[in-house]
Amino acid sequence: MNRIEKTFAALRENQKKAFVPYIMAGDGGLETLVDRLALLEKFGATAVEVGVPFSDPVADGPTIQRAGLRALANGTTLRGIIQEIEKARKVVSIPIILMTYLNPIYSYGIAEFVRDIRNAGVDGCIIPDLPIEEEKIIVPELEAAEVELIRLVTLTTPLERIKTISSRGKGFLYTVTVKGITGVRNEYDAELTNFLKSVKEVSKIPVMAGFGISSKEQIQEISKYSDGVIVGSKIVDLFEQNLLSEMEDLMSVSKQKSNV
């Protein structure tokens, strides 16, 4: 079991839900990454998803796109991010998941990328533009390095395909809760509850819900039908505005015991 599996097993045993914040590496300066990871662990994060800035982020909404542009303007590189994560491992014990697109990995070199993230202490990767039909280009290397590929399903993914996707991983299944890109939302599609229930029924691994979740009320409601939530745009906004007490309050729900 890698760090992700161990963490979710502990959550199940303690009847708790997961809270995974997303941050954009290099937003605010790459030198802030270690401190931000440590702070999120202190606030109760189950794991942290670390975004790699990219010039054509097809899955990202306006907030994360702007954060990515700020990070690129700061000179942030994939190699630099990996080096900072390695530093963070001296003070951060929770799982770290790297979110990047294929192009930066190709530019880095697949074998070298996998070797370096393993050595740095990365536990998982999210690659939104990698379909399961093309996974063979990197999955053997990731599996050998014991780095989990976190796969995504959406509201439009057929149930049989969800079964196939969830059967391939050991970490968790990233379930996209909206039809579209990331970003804070005030309400969700009426079919979301039934969708999450269906995914939970067929998935062999924990089901995490993400995209647009921004309030304690949304976190509590969506967590009823999933194993936890991933919060991105709201966390990015709060870091940009330096509203750390508000962030801690938002994340306090992760410390509560679940009755479902």
What gap in Å lies between CA 95 and CA 20, rounded to an integer? Answer: 10
Model pLDDT for residues 31-76, shown as the tens digit of each residue: 999 999 999 999 999 999 999 999 877 667 789 999 999 999 999 9
CATH code, 156: 3.20.20.70
Task: Provide the number of structural domains found in the chain.
Answer: 1
3-state secondary structure of 152: strand
In a domain, 67, yes or no: yes
In a domain, 257, yes or no: no
In a domain, 143, yes or no: yes
Query: Which one from 60, 84, 116, 227 is the annotated catalytic residue?
Result: 60
Contacts 24+ apart (CB under 8 A), 165-170: 165/132, 166/199, 166/202, 166/203, 166/204, 166/205, 167/204, 168/132, 168/135, 169/205, 170/1, 170/2, 170/4, 170/5, 170/205
> Active-site residue 123, yes or no?
no
Split at pLDDT 50, 70, 90, the class of 258 is: low
Burial group, residue 217, by CB count within 10 angstroms (0-12, 13-18, 19+): exposed
In a domain, 256, yes or no: no
Average model confidence (pLDDT) for the chain?
A: 92
> Active-site residue 35, yes or no?
no
Domain of residue 163, residue span = 3-251
3-state secondary structure of 110: helix
Is the pLDDT confidence value at 185 over 70? no
Split at pLDDT 50, 70, 90, the class of 184 is: very low
- 97 pairs with which residues across the strands? 49, 124
DSSP-derived letter for residue 32 is G
In a domain, 260, yes or no: no
Is the pLDDT confidence value at 235 over 80? yes
In a domain, 76, yes or no: yes
Query: Which one from 49, 123, 148, 237 is the annotated catalytic residue?
Result: 49
Residue recorded with tokens 């530093």:
87
- Provide mean pLDDT across the span 66-95: 97
In a domain, 192, yes or no: yes
In a domain, 258, yes or no: no
Among 150, 149, 171, 175, residue whose Cα is nearest residue 162 = 175
